[in-house]
Structure 1
Amino acid sequence: MGSLIDLNLHPDPPNPTAGCSTSAATLITPKIEPKLEPLDHPPPNPNPNLGLPTTQPISHPEPVPDETNVYSEFDRISEMFLTAFANKIEKKDDFMLTDPDAQAIVPVPEQTHEENQLANATYRRKDPPRSSELVRVSNLGTEDERYFREVMRKTRMIYDSLRVLVVAEDEKRRSFDFVKSPRSRGDLKAASVMKERGLWLNRDKRIVGAIPGVNVGDVFFFRMELCVVGLHGQAQAGIDYLTSGQSSNGEPIATSVIVSGGYEDDEDAGDVIIYTGHGGQDKHSRQVLHQKLEGGNLGMERSMHYGIEVRVIRGFRYEGSASGKVYVYDGLYKIVEAWFDVGKSGFGVFKFKLVRMENQVEMGSAVLKFAENLRTKPLEVRPTGYVSFDISMKKESIPVFLFNDIDNNHEPMYYDYAATTVFPPFVYHIGAKGGGCNCVAGCSQDCFCAKKNGGDFAYDSNGLLVRGKPLIFECGPHCHCPATCQNRVSQKGLRNRFEVFRSQETGWGVRSLDLIQAGSFICEYTGVVLTREQAQLFTMNGDSLVYPNRFGERWAEWGDLSQIFTDYVRPTYPSVPPLDFGMDVSRMRNLACYMSHSSCPNVLVQLVLYDHSNIAFPHLMLFAMENIPPMRELSLDYGAADEWLGKLPICN
């Protein structure tokens, strides 16, 4: 088991100008406050009649240790707050005041069960302060790394599925609103609920260096998710640090920074970063005051003094991101130099030179840029290794690359590409006529297909899977709704660019050239379906099949909020009989057949029906269980063998 090493710091006599230019000691500067970075995207415009303020700078020279102010923006735009206290709000000097004795009871719209659960889950109590104990985790074995990775994966899955649920419930509520209220911030509410339930990670120790379970290259869409997993503990500030009030020696210590280009004097060369300290900017991100060696700036200087590494997370805008930005963990850096300089705007700024530590995997931000170039000019980026630029032969709307720079094996070229599963003809005889919805403009919650799903659609308006279910009914060819219907997600084929590649570790594998968001549809697992009797005859000839009943029920993990809601019940409707068929992929297959096996997969199998009504023969649709960065291998849990089916075959 890995060990926790306490970092007992015994400093030399404090020298606030250590490592800095002597001009810092003589330059007289006015007192300023730490500059906060904006949230992932601007909050919705509130009702102007309520006089809700915009975000105000924090008035403390250092962040409040217990971080109760993290959710102030969410609290201000919370629908419950607006509903329960609308009659008691008073505006004064751009701040919103409420009567502490307000007990007004006002009518509220009827809420769904999920909304009631979310409302109950956000009951707030005083949060305990973050730990002031600095530790470094070392000597992790293989089993330790798997354990922490699984804990991290499950925590992120709860966050993502809870955020998607919040957005889906908000969309449902707004569809009945005559006057549209502000949209709920799913990222903030999910983090708030998880904090209330004690599900934030790494709160009992302040970890220096790598966070167990977080890999270099991991991608996050929201700043609050960084707080949830303990990678960066500040919701807005770019420098996370142990405050002087918490530190045993009275000096702040920096542990992580976010490099997002928010300061004009920043320089980012990848392995070397010139990082500008915080403070001195106005609301338009213009440098208007001198910076001071205090708070996070002093924490950076002290970390350099003690030789403490910092985690670097890069944030930048990314097309297709849920928040418009992505945050990529790029590993550990040493602060090797600090000085005070005159910035481009003519004001004094602190600068810190960060150098990436050796023996780390490639930076995630570099991989994102590499994949972006690969999508547009593949031969310029990788002149050799391409076997085909589309093994689907245009059967998919997006080409599927085949890449092999290991050997001369071109096996995937020898199979017919099956974009959809081939079912026996008798499958379509059940419910072949009628059975579809009569929606014209678009489906609503009371349409026939929604009722087959238990009254709710399985996807939100962005096509993300809200919650895994035993079976999902999508609108099909007998429905009157348009192709843009919210309930037609998995039948539309590929949305992302993929490549099948040759690997020395796993044989053949699959990776995406795009960033895939958790809950997104990936592709169908296709082949030729055989009945049990046909499968038994087939295997007598020595051939092997893929058996869908072995994939297990990973779908139940996506949307499993049992740690959030005490009355959570795993979905059991609609019930599905055991999958009693095999799938022959020896002649026809698609890219999914090359996904590697993993007991900790990033892809799940969700059963879906849309083109027929025979629940014994569903489509095997694959969805992302987590945010999957470009060039990271996709993996499935193929399960274990059973008595009559023999050993599980994997295409590799």
Structure 2
Amino acid sequence: MGGYPVVTWESYSQARRRLPPKYRLAKDLPHELQDRVNALPQSYRDSPQAAVLFEAMIDEAMDNELEAPPISVVNDVTDEGAPPWEFVYTNEMWYGQGVPPPDMKNLKSCSCVGRCDPKSKTCGCVKQQHHHLKPYIADGTIPKSWNGAPFVYDSKGCLQWSGMPIFECNDFCGCDDDCPNRVVQRGRRYAVNIKRTEHKGWGIFNAQKRIPKGSFMGIYAGELLTIDEADRRGALYNKFGRTYLFDIDFHHLGEEDPTYAVDAYHAGNNHSCNPNCEIVACYINEGSIEKPLLTVFTKREVEPFEELSFSYMGTIDDDTVRYSLPVNAKANNDAVYAQCHCGSTNCLGVLFS
């Protein structure tokens, strides 16, 4: 037009796909601030100023969650000023050695204008989500009670159906930022506190506002590792009783051994045998089915000041109970098989089976 090429969203998006994907490497995890604080006297690390600095560190890391409420550090149990300074707050994945970059070649996107219509016959994201819904629904049809089907979110952005993967619209989709199929990428909406507990160390607690069922609470973020590296670290972590390794082995990935795992050693959540949260596989800017984000959603309504927790052992069924009795754990000398202090009525007595 007038001697200049016409730039459309489609041509712009295709050009962006040819650029190298942006992602973070685990070797670049920040540690300078943590090292400096750990070199200071214990009296400083136990001072109120340490909590202020810790909160500022978290706030600075939330540069892609600008509308998320702040996170506060609360301790009315011990003299510790803040959680251990090995902690690095992040809401992103950091790729370990041997893990390939995000797969842009196989990443499906839609060409919708405005907001995606969940009843659309042409939206690529609708088609992809519907394809992955079928195994979870007996006759392949969507329940009438499911309001935005086949998207997994309702009109308020709450997860309507658990146990299945989420396929959100991505950076190469033509739809607007307020598309109903963009929830995880818009970030956390509810305030939480990092709070010291009496028996379980530091945990994540709801603030003073009730949280609805199906609400997005954050990402189980950390280092994305090959399963071989995860196994090597796991053997070491087990000995000194601290592990936050999560094998990516969701049901929709099939029965084969997992290829990757996430190590959230520096940013943990607390376990419960009767959890109020669950981890759901979510795909946004990643075309590989083996590398979802591990997103945390509430399984039920969460009361004000209630602790947020999920099960380290996944779904707890009769087999879990049978093979997780405290006597079986005590037979293993690894420190990771510690007593569980979740306090639920159906507590198994141990953190890991």
Alignment of 1:388-467 (within 5 A): 388=52, 389-396=55-62, 397=66, 398-409=69-80, 410-424=82-96, 426-432=99-105, 435-445=108-118, 446=120, 447-454=123-130, 456-467=150-161
Instruction: Verify: 1:610 aligned to 2:284, yes or no.
Output: yes
- Root mean square deviation of aligned Cα: 3.2
Instruction: Verify: 1:473 aligned to 2:171, yes or no.
Output: no
Kept in 1: contact 2:253–2:290 (CA 8 A)? no
Kept in 2: contact 1:576–1:615 (CA 8 A)? no
**Per the alignment, in what secondary structure is the counterpart of residue 228 of structure 2?**
helix
**Match for 1:401: what amino acid?**
S
- Structure 2: how far apart are the matches of 1:449 and 1:578? 28
Kept in 2: contact 1:547–1:581 (CA 8 A)? no
Instruction: Verify: 1:584 aligned to 2:240, yes or no.
Output: no
- Structure 2: how far apart are the matches of 1:506 and 1:451? 44
- Structure 1: how far apart are the matches of 2:253 and 2:259? 17
Aligned to 2:192: 498
Is the alpha carbon distance of 1:464 and 1:575 closer, same or farther for their aligned partners in structure 2, counting shifts above 3 Å?
Answer: farther
Instruction: Verify: 1:528 aligned to 2:223, yes or no.
Output: yes
**Match for 1:393: what amino acid?**
D
- Structure 1: how far apart are the matches of 2:234 and 2:182? 36
**Per the alignment, in what secondary structure is the counterpart of residue 450 of structure 1?**
helix
Instruction: Verify: 1:518 aligned to 2:208, yes or no.
Output: no
Aligned to 1:387: 51
Structure 1 residue 549, shift from structure 2 partner? 4.0
Structure 1 residue 542, shift from structure 2 partner? 5.0
The superposition leaves residues 575-621 of structure 1 with CA deviations (integer Å, 9 ceiling, x where unpaired) of: 6865443322334x3xxx2x321111111111101110111121111
Aligned to 1:631: 305
Q: Identify the structure with bigger relative contact order (alpha carbons < 8 Å, sequence gap 6+).
A: 2
Kept in 2: contact 1:464–1:519 (CA 8 A)? yes
Structure number, greater radius of gyration:
1
Kept in 2: contact 1:386–1:402 (CA 8 A)? no
Is the alpha carbon distance of 1:532 and 1:476 closer, same or farther for their aligned partners in structure 2, counting shifts above 3 Å?
Answer: same
The superposition leaves residues 471-499 of structure 1 with CA deviations (integer Å, 9 ceiling, x where unpaired) of: 11111112111111111111222211111
Kept in 2: contact 1:438–1:479 (CA 8 A)? yes
**Match for 1:627: what amino acid?**
E
- Structure 1: how far apart are the matches of 2:51 and 2:281? 33
**Match for 1:492: what amino acid?**
R
**Match for 2:183: what amino acid?**
V
Percent identity, please.
24
**Match for 1:442: what amino acid?**
R
Kept in 2: contact 1:433–1:478 (CA 8 A)? no
- Structure 1: how far apart are the matches of 2:305 and 2:192? 9
Is the alpha carbon distance of 1:574 and 1:415 closer, same or farther for their aligned partners in structure 2, counting shifts above 3 Å?
Answer: closer
Alignment TM-score, normalising by the size of structure 2: 0.60
Alignment of 1:166-315 (within 5 A): none
**Per the alignment, in what secondary structure is the counterpart of residue 629 of structure 1?**
coil
Alignment of 1:87-102 (within 5 A): none
Task: Give structure 2 stretches of 5+ with no counterpart.
Answer: 1-47, 132-149, 314-319, 325-333, 341-350
- Structure 2: how far apart are the matches of 1:390 and 1:482? 31
Is the alpha carbon distance of 1:423 and 1:474 closer, same or farther for their aligned partners in structure 2, counting shifts above 3 Å?
Answer: farther
Aligned to 1:598: 272
Is the alpha carbon distance of 1:441 and 1:578 closer, same or farther for their aligned partners in structure 2, counting shifts above 3 Å?
Answer: farther
**Match for 2:261: what amino acid?**
G
Is the alpha carbon distance of 1:486 and 1:507 closer, same or farther for their aligned partners in structure 2, counting shifts above 3 Å?
Answer: same
Aligned to 1:76: none
Kept in 2: contact 1:602–1:634 (CA 8 A)? yes
- Structure 1: how far apart are the matches of 2:102 and 2:197? 43
Is the alpha carbon distance of 1:510 and 1:633 closer, same or farther for their aligned partners in structure 2, counting shifts above 3 Å?
Answer: same
Is the alpha carbon distance of 1:478 and 1:601 closer, same or farther for their aligned partners in structure 2, counting shifts above 3 Å?
Answer: same
- Structure 2: how far apart are the matches of 1:605 and 1:404? 27
- Structure 1: how far apart are the matches of 2:180 and 2:257? 28
Kept in 1: contact 2:245–2:264 (CA 8 A)? no
Kept in 1: contact 2:246–2:263 (CA 8 A)? no
The superposition leaves residues 447-475 of structure 1 with CA deviations (integer Å, 9 ceiling, x where unpaired) of: 11111111611111210111114311111
- Structure 1: how far apart are the matches of 2:255 and 2:50? 42
Aligned to 1:546: 244
- Structure 2: how far apart are the matches of 1:617 and 1:418? 17
- Structure 2: how far apart are the matches of 1:582 and 1:435? 24
The superposition leaves residues 8-54 of structure 1 with CA deviations (integer Å, 9 ceiling, x where unpaired) of: xxxxxxxxxxxxxxxxxxxxxxxxxxxxxxxxxxxxxxxxxxxxxxx
- Structure 1: how far apart are the matches of 2:184 and 2:151? 13
Aligned residues: 241
Is the alpha carbon distance of 1:469 and 1:575 closer, same or farther for their aligned partners in structure 2, counting shifts above 3 Å?
Answer: farther
**Match for 2:60: what amino acid?**
K
**Match for 1:586: what amino acid?**
Y
**Match for 2:127: what amino acid?**
K
Is the alpha carbon distance of 1:428 and 1:458 closer, same or farther for their aligned partners in structure 2, counting shifts above 3 Å?
Answer: farther
Is the alpha carbon distance of 1:393 and 1:385 closer, same or farther for their aligned partners in structure 2, counting shifts above 3 Å?
Answer: closer
